[in-house]
Amino acid sequence: MKLEDIHKDNIFKVPDNYFEDFPDRLHKRIAEKEAVRPTPVIRMRTLINIAAAAVILFFVIYGISLLSTRSSSAERILSNISSEELINYLVESDMSTDELLESLDISIIASIDDPLTDELISSDPIDDETIDDLIDEYEIEMEYL
């Protein structure tokens, strides 16, 4: 038997009104997906907290090391402590990001006249859509909803 001897009929069927109803069902699914779009951003909270803690830690250490050149005895003492020791202290102290934020004097950062600091402060954050796309692309499953 040759292939052309077989009738080319479509053996696959669809439920009644499937194609008539499909656009509406799709529209609803897209609307549902868009309604839950903020969710991945909430899931990203942990990552954002870690990133924020790292930035704050940087500012604290960087600010202290710059100010250590000024004549404050406490700062002079702190300037003798290595960055590694400070990082270890902050890591072991179990301080949350919020506590770190509260304890940080923003005026210290503002007073630092340094191109690197300006660049860090002015760099564009990742927008929500980019985060969503990254999550979709890499199918990141976060444990926090």
Query: What does the binding site for another protein look like in residue numbers (CB under 8 A)?
Result: 1-3, 6-15, 18-19, 22-23, 25-27, 29-30, 33
Nearer to another protein, 26 or 91 (CB): 26
Contacts 24+ apart (CB under 8 A), 104-108: 104/56, 104/59, 104/60, 108/59, 108/63, 108/67
Q: How far is the CB of 131 from another protein (least distance, A)?
A: 14
Nearer to another protein, 4 or 92 (CB): 4
Q: How far is the CB of 24 from another protein (least distance, A)?
A: 10
DSSP notation for 77-138? HHHTS-HHHHHHHHHHTT--HHHHHHH--HHHHHH---HHHHHHHHSPPPPHHHHHHHHHHH
Q: How far is the CB of 140 from another protein (least distance, A)?
A: 17
Nearer to another protein, 2 or 70 (CB): 2
